[in-house]
Amino acid sequence: MAKELVDPSDDIRAYGADYVHFCMRLRKLTGIDLSSYKSRQMHRRLQNYRNRHGYPDFYTFSVAVQKDEQKLKALLDFITINVSEFFRNPEQWKILRESILPPIVAYRNGQPVRIWSAGSSAGQEAYSLAISVLEAGGLPKVLGTDIDEASIEKARAGVYSSEEVKGLSTFHLSRYFKPHPEGYRVREILRRAVSFERGNLLTDEYPRDLDLAVCRNVLIYFTDQGKQRVLRGLAASLRRGGILFTGATEPVFNPASYGLNQIHPFFYQRS
Ligand SMILES: C[S@@+](CC[C@H](N)C(=O)[O-])C[C@H]1O[C@@H](n2cnc3c(N)ncnc32)[C@H](O)[C@@H]1O
């Protein structure tokens, strides 16, 4: 069997014994395994964060987060980089709306369209998917999963500030959201269509028989090995003919090796 090439800069041991200790401690405390994330980038970010908070090395930093739940939570928020938007990269959503969803809705023929937003952050992507299916005349059943508990809580609440709803048209805003003291809240029609669960893409089981798996702006943080593992899982989560939708900077190289066939930029069909 061909040996998988591993980038040496992805080996956490390249960054010192204190960093290895920190990664092991974090895995024990949270289940997040930093050795599957791009190490150079992650180490640089964490080192800046650690310096800003005044810890001289990763040993003392580990002790501090282990002792203080608030510090651990703040660190997790920082690690998981949960920036998101409604209809992020609109040109991709246009392809989804015009070319991808109509045949899926026809295939389901009145039955729920099964969609997974993998790495759903605070829910903007999952709700955008539900809106898109409703407008294509289908019945959405969207599951959003994310490793970050705080993001899942926010997604379930479905409350967004005026700044956060910027990507929505006034039509979408008035039809699918209602005013709320903090901005806007998703209406019942979306709430019924979308659910959220905590899940780690690198360790947990994946859903099955999906029409559409959406994994955007998540794979970029993983090592090549981590990425391959997740792509294999995403492909297997689709029914035959199901579609994988990736981020605007995340083409799948060699889709055939996952049993996928590219049908539009960033859209791949299970063959
Ligand atoms: C930049 S956001 C992308 C959100 C959304 N998909 C989008 O494109 O707007 C990346 C998300 O991936 C989540 N994430 C990172 N590692 C993960 C893992 N191992 N399993 C599940 N989610 C993960 C983060 O918590 C974060 O919410």
Q: Identify the domain boundary among 48, 80, 112.
A: 80
Residue 85: inside a domain? no
Does residue 56 share a domain with residue 162?
no
| Chain-centroid distance, C-alpha 130 | 16
pLDDT digits (tens, 9 = 90+) for 35-92: 999 999 999 999 999 999 999 999 999 999 999 999 998 898 888 888 899 999 999 9
Does residue 104 share a domain with residue 61?
no
pLDDT digits (tens, 9 = 90+) for 198-247: 999 999 999 999 999 999 999 989 999 999 999 999 999 999 999 999 99
Does residue 143 share a domain with residue 37?
no
Residue 221: inside a domain? yes
**How many domains in the chain?**
2
**What CATH number has the domain bearing residue 163?**
3.40.50.150
Average pLDDT for 253-259? 97
Residue 198: inside a domain? yes
Does residue 53 share a domain with residue 170?
no
Does residue 252 share a domain with residue 156?
yes
Does residue 100 share a domain with residue 46?
no
Q: How many Å lie between the centroid of ligand 1 and the Cα of residue 102? A: 27
CB half-sphere exposure, 74, CA atoms < 13 A? 11
Distance separating alpha carbons of residues 221 and 34, to the nearest angstrom: 10
Does residue 251 share a domain with residue 160?
yes
Does residue 165 share a domain with residue 231?
yes
Residue 2: inside a domain? no
Whole-structure pTM value: 0.90
Give 37: exposed, middle or buried? Use CB within 10 Å, 0-12, 13-18, 19+: buried
Coil, strand or helix: which one is 160? strand
* C-beta atoms surrounding 240 within 10 Å: 9
Does residue 169 share a domain with residue 64?
no
Residues in the chain: 271
Ligand 1 — pocket residues by CB below 6 A? Answer: 80-85, 88, 119, 121, 125, 146-148, 151, 199-202, 216-218, 221, 247
Residue 67: inside a domain? yes
Q: Which of 117, 146, 222 best tests ligand 1's pocket when mutated (most atoms within 8 Å of CB)? A: 146
Q: Which of 27, 121, 222, 249 best tests ligand 1's pocket when mutated (most atoms within 8 Å of CB)? A: 121
- Type of residue numbered 143: L
Model confidence at 1, in pLDDT bands (50, 70, 90)? very low
Distance separating alpha carbons of residues 229 and 176, to the nearest angstrom: 36
* C-beta atoms surrounding 111 within 10 Å: 12
Model confidence at 2, in pLDDT bands (50, 70, 90)? very low
Does residue 123 share a domain with residue 247?
yes
CA dihedral 234, 236, 242, 247 (to 10 degrees): 10
Does residue 152 share a domain with residue 266?
yes
Does residue 123 share a domain with residue 71?
no
Residue 3: inside a domain? no
Q: Identify the domain boundary among 38, 60, 80.
A: 80
Structural domain span for residue 70: 8-80
Average pLDDT for 134-138? 98
Max CA pair span of the chain: 60
